[in-house]
Amino acid sequence: MKKLIVLATLAALPAAAMADVVISGNLAVGITNTKVDGTGSINTEDRTSGEIKFAGKEDLGNGLKSIWQIASRINLSDKQDNARDNAWSGRDSFVGLQGDFGTVTLGNIYHMPTSGAMAIFEDNSASFKSDLYDQGDRINSTISYKSPTVAGFTAVVQHSFGSSTANEQAKLHQQALSLAYEGEGFSVSYDGARAKEDANNTSKLHELNASVSLDALTLMAGYAQGKDSDGKRRGYGLAASYTMGNITPKLGFWKEGDFKNADGSKDNDGHKAYAVGVEYALSKRTRAGVELAKANYDDNATADVRTATVYLGTKF
């Protein structure tokens, strides 16, 4: 149906301009209750996830295809500061070429493409307060190369030329490398990014993920480490889900260590976080669920945070 709508819209154009455009997306809205220790709780209608994609490709012959995608985040929240969230082409948006050599794309592209594999929850996973996990950037002026899959292995290499003229002139670039292996019932991946923040500071972020599927049970593990001129921090976690018919319970745990300063001292600012949830599949595309997540900080000066969400979502 979605293809028919697009084709009908393009019917007035010359036949040569016709293209096979696919529209897809994901949208979920929830009621979230957030409580920070020492303060009252707050109820909000929140976007838990939302994205719409327009994608297409053209066969150029000799095994070569041109591809393109425009993706935008959908945020139904009424917050005044969400104009950027709903920006057109704010998600992965690119044009590129695909062939036996692999895929080359240019545009606004997410660095560290296999990161965040442990974020299986709709809203807040156990890593929702992490300064490390799934913290890659989506940067325009990026060129990305993805290799063909060989014996289960895939590699992605990316380079950003700077998200603005000022950054380009200051040589504030970013590079990323991702390596992934997918076997029967399991996968492992590594993502690494290096960004020059300013003339005196270069930051690095490394992430490892592993996943094992045993019929209805899925087990995941993640590790992340971030480092800059001020110091470094590490974190690790586990997540699991088990599908029983239409019902899928989910569990998550994340531990983030103290920040270790460049002089060897440590800040007492680490935390542990937990998440639990249950999702019910109303149909192949529509889902509903409830989730609870909490972050407990080692530092008594930092208040613990708890969130509870009830949501309804659909894919198209």
Domain housing 293: 2-95+114-134+211-315
Residue 153 lies in a domain: no
What's the number of domains the chain is made of?
1
* Other C-beta atoms lying within 10 Å of the C-beta of residue 237: 25
Q: Report the CATH number that the domain containing residue 29 is assigned in CATH.
A: 2.40.160.10
Burial 32-51 (b: 16+ CB within 10 A, else e): bebbeeeeeeeeeebbbbbb
CB 118 within 8 A of CB 221: yes
In a domain, 155, yes or no: no
Residue 149 lies in a domain: no
What is the C-alpha separation between 270 and 282, in angstroms, rounded?
39
Per-residue tokens: 303: 């208040």
Is there a domain that residue 260 lies in?
A: yes
Decide if 78 is inside a domain. yes
d(CA 97, CA 67): 6
Identify any residues that bridge with 44 across adjacent strands, giving them in sequence order.
32
Inside any domain, residue 167: no
| Radius of gyration for the alpha carbons in the chain, expressed in angstroms and rounded | 21
Cβ(253)–Cβ(274) under 8 Å?
yes
d(CA 152, CA 184): 9
Identify whether 64 is part of a domain: yes
Written as tens digits, the pLDDT of the chain (316 aa) is 444 444 444 444 444 444 689 999 998 888 889 999 888 788 877 766 688 999 999 999 999 999 999 999 887 665 544 544 567 888 889 999 999 999 999 998 888 888 888 989 988 899 999 989 987 777 778 999 999 999 999 999 999 886 666 665 555 678 899 999 999 999 999 999 998 777 678 889 999 999 999 999 999 999 999 999 889 999 999 999 999 999 999 999 999 999 999 998 999 899 999 999 999 999 999 999 999 999 999 887 789 999 999 999 999 9
